[in-house]
Amino acid sequence: MFGRLGGFVVRRPWWVIIGWLVASFAIVIFSPRLADITSADQGSFLPDKYESVQAIKLAQEAFPQQGQAATAIIVVKRADGAPLADADVAKVGAVAQTLQGKNISGISSVVTGPPAVAPNRSVQLVTAVLSGTNLGDPAMLESVKELRRQLAPALEGSGLQAGVAGNVATFVDNEKSFESSLAIVGIATFALILGLILLIFRSPIAALLPIFVIGVVLQVSSSLVALAGKIFDYTVSQDLQTLLLIVLYGIGTDYILFLLFRYRERLRAGDDKRTAMVVAVQRVGEVIASAAAAVIVAFLVLLLASLKSFGSLGPALAIAVTVMLITALTLIPAVVSLLGRYTFWPSKSWQRHPEGKLPARLGALVGRRPAAVALASGGVLVVLAAGALFFKADYDFNAGFPQNTESARAQVDLEKGFPAGALTPTEVYLRSGGTPLTQEQLAQFSAAVAKAPGVGQVQPPQPTSDGQVARMNVLLSGNPLSNESIALVRGELRDAVHAAAPAGTTALVGGITAIFADINTANNRDLSVILPVAAVLIALILGLLLRSMVAPVYLVVAVLLGFAATLGASVYVFQGLLDKPGVTFQLPIILYLFVLAIGTDYNILMIARLREEAREGREPREAAALGVEHAGPSVAAAGVILAGTFGVLMLAPVSFLVQMGFAVAIGILLSAFVVSLFFVPSLTALVGHAAWWPGHGDAPSAAPERERAGVGTA
């Protein structure tokens, strides 16, 4: 099939190129923008069964204005650090009235009062109620910026200082960090791809080919994802744009390298440019299609996730990989077949067969000592994987941002006078069975909640007009986004609140901490479902590719071991060496996306080459040696480029991106160099002919290579 596809593309390259460009132009022009389906609200991605989501819905019904509003908190203190005097408190009240009178767009009210003065009078809080809920809403961000602009003149000459804190203010302060991170990733990715491919092929044409082609694929994929989002009415995480860029430049470069390495190999064997491309597509096309299918299936398995943020990522990334697959099997062969040997211009190295190089020596080592190589490489993976047993999830995004911003400094000032949870209160709702709640019930419930574990302060209950629902803010004594607080809300605090509810009433615990507690529960559930299902489906794809039931088993085991080793290495570095409280909670699913799914590419390329060498009549150990020698450079080059693509994230000023960059880079390097270059070939050599049972995929093929490739019809 792939030989016929290669023949068609080579015979009609201009048809393929023009048709591809016309389709791409139409998709980009007539599809919506990705920003139209993007959401930054973590709570919106949880299913309705979780208590934090039920609390959100109750708030929207019972407190339609408060329940849907975000806030910005102005933290006011004396410039000289002294306690606030009565005159200062009065001035803060006047400032709140002044700001209210400015009628700032997007701000419905600006209020303060005696409860907003810290018990030690170190600070006073002013609450600005915003009219939106989406942290990424440009109008809401502009409201906070305007609030800050109006705040400075209102305080002038008063001897007071103030800063705006809260989730929205933090988003404003770190908006530039995200933008600069994306710019750093983009620039460094391009520089890395250009530099490494120039080093490999010594050709600017070969180096620029992935940059231009994948750049167009990124635009087409983004448009198709947005179109699918509109049609099927789903939203995606704001991280998707960055993930699409990394995924496409990562796997796209892999697929292009797989083709170029085999194309160069065929040119060295004496094929003309058309024949070389047909053979390359015939031999590597199956590998690319199988690798892409494994990645697509792994992404689509995310539809089983209860977290809709993961579920929406799956189809979006699957669409992007599908577009890249089509591009790799049609547009790239068409362009390269037209360029021919000029693809590698001006270098002449493509004409020379490398002799005595490192890949040949490594292949010889694997062929001579497969047991020792398997034991050493497997041992490295097992030792690293042991670290995964100590994994702790960290949900505190704010701690990972720069701490010299206005919102970060205001948070520090606030904690001098209020519990750490004041900016992110836990919301407790009490609902009656249909009759108004009595003052006695509210007082008893409030007193019981105040005695619950980890509670620093309970604010007075706010009943609805009909008295059937009451809401109170509970300020935790510890960091509301710490692992300890999240575990507290998920367990002891919720249990205590539920138990404190008077007879005939129900209590719900909501707020950001509760949302992350439920995300933790959902995340654990999702990984327990996704990993085994993905492993089974990838094994089926490998079985279809190899016509074997044996090789897919140890290939999947190798991939899962690489996943665990990557997570363990991250734990050793961040929790151990750098003494972090935990590793970002999203890391396991990110490693699933990029190490387990994409790392399978290298195993597929290697095992396909081992089978190819076996079909040439070579014994298992010789086939392993030649497989490493011939496929090793492709795997190594692709692995280094993909690892480097993620590694540049460590240049970002955001802790989450640093952890993600390190972990995925290490994972890809382990997948490429430890698993694919050593562990899989050595195991295949040890298993021998039984690796291909029952399909006898290593049975020698009698037909000449050119005849098998269908070159005569090209």
Q: What is the arithmetic mean of pLDDT over 83-102?
A: 92
- Evaluate if residue 712 carries a pLDDT over 50: no
Could you give the CA distance from residue 626 to residue 681 in angstroms, rounded to a whole number? Answer: 10
Could you give the CA distance from residue 341 to residue 593 in angstroms, rounded to a whole number? Answer: 36
Does residue 698 share a domain with residue 584?
A: yes
Q: At residue 354, what are phi and psi to the nearest 5 degrees?
A: -70, 135
Residue 711 lies in a domain: no
pLDDT tens profile 371-411: 999 999 999 999 999 999 999 888 776 666 667 788 888 88
Tokens of 100: 């209210």
Burial of 328 (0-12, 13-18, 19+ CB in 10 A): buried
Hunting for tokens 């701490």 — which residue is that? Answer: 403
Tokens of 449: 């909640």
CATH code (residue 78): 3.30.70.1430
Q: What is the arithmetic mean of pLDDT over 477-492?
A: 87
Number of domains observed in the structure of the chain:
3
Hunting for tokens 């509970």 — which residue is that? Answer: 474
Cβ distance 164 to 74 under 8 Å? Answer: yes
Residue 345 lies in a domain: yes
Does residue 574 share a domain with residue 649?
A: yes
Residue 350 lies in a domain: yes
Q: Give residue 594's pLDDT.
A: 79
Q: How many CB atoms lie within 10 A of CB 167?
A: 19
Does residue 482 share a domain with residue 382?
A: no
- Evaluate if residue 356 carries a pLDDT over 60: no
- Looking at the chain, the whole-number percentage of residues with pLDDT higher than 70 is 91
Looking at 510, 527, 555, which one is the last position of a domain? 510
Q: Give residue 333's pLDDT.
A: 93
pLDDT tens profile 592-650: 877 887 778 888 889 988 988 888 888 999 999 999 998 888 888 888 888 887 887 78
Does residue 223 share a domain with residue 305?
A: yes
Range of lowest pLDDT (11-25, 394-408, 472-486, 621-635): 394-408
Burial of 87 (0-12, 13-18, 19+ CB in 10 A): exposed
Q: What is the arithmetic mean of pLDDT over 436-464?
A: 91
Does residue 128 share a domain with residue 103?
A: yes
- Evaluate if residue 510 carries a pLDDT over 80: yes
Choose between 214 and 136: higher pLDDT: 214
Q: Give residue 86's pLDDT.
A: 92
Tokens of 41: 């609200």
Length of the chain (residues): 714
One DSSP character per residue, 181-237 reads HHHHHHHHHHHHHHHHHHHHH--HHHHHHHHHHHHHHHHHHHHHHHHHHHHHT--EE
Residue 56 lies in a domain: no
Residue range of the domain that includes 28: 2-41+173-396+518-705
Query: What is the average pLDDT score of the chain?
Result: 85
Does residue 682 share a domain with residue 555?
A: yes
Tokens of 367: 């062929």
Looking at 165, 200, 215, which one is the last position of a domain? 165
Residue 454 lies in a domain: yes
Residue 46 lies in a domain: no
Residue 55 lies in a domain: no
Provide the residue type at 314 as one letter. Answer: G
Does residue 186 share a domain with residue 124?
A: no
Does residue 204 share a domain with residue 100?
A: no
- Helices (H) and strands (E) in the chain — how many of each? 25, 13
Tokens of 193: 């791809």
Beta-strand relationship, 38-39 and 236-237: parallel
Q: Give residue 383's pLDDT.
A: 97
Does residue 282 share a domain with residue 153?
A: no
pLDDT tens profile 36-74: 776 655 545 678 889 999 998 998 888 876 555 678 899
The DSSP call for residue 482 is S
- Evaluate if residue 711 carries a pLDDT over 60: no
Q: Give residue 558's pLDDT.
A: 93
Give the 3-state DSSP-derived string for 95-126, with helices as H, strands as E and coil as C.
Answer: HHHHHHHCCCCCEEEEECCHHHECCCCCCEEE
Q: What is the arithmetic mean of pLDDT over 569-591?
A: 90
Map residue 435 onto helix, strand or coil.
Answer: coil
- Evaluate if residue 235 carries a pLDDT over 60: yes
Residue 670 lies in a domain: yes
- In 3D, which of 397, 411, 402, 414 has the Cα closest to residue 516? 397
Q: Give residue 385's pLDDT.
A: 96
Range of lowest pLDDT (91-105, 178-192, 213-227, 552-566): 178-192
Hunting for tokens 């269908």 — which residue is that? Answer: 710
Tokens of 15: 């048809």
Q: Give residue 707's pLDDT.
A: 40
CATH code (residue 504): 3.30.70.60
Q: Give residue 669's pLDDT.
A: 94
Beta-strand relationship, 469-476 and 462-463: antiparallel
Tokens of 393: 């999830």
Looking at 124, 147, 165, which one is the last position of a domain? 165
- Evaluate if residue 367 carries a pLDDT over 70: yes
Does residue 465 share a domain with residue 337?
A: no
Does residue 201 share a domain with residue 142?
A: no
Tokens of 51: 């208590």
Could you give the CA distance from residue 280 to residue 705 in angstroms, rounded to a whole number? Answer: 11
Does residue 493 share a domain with residue 463?
A: yes
Q: How many CB atoms lie within 10 A of CB 61?
A: 11
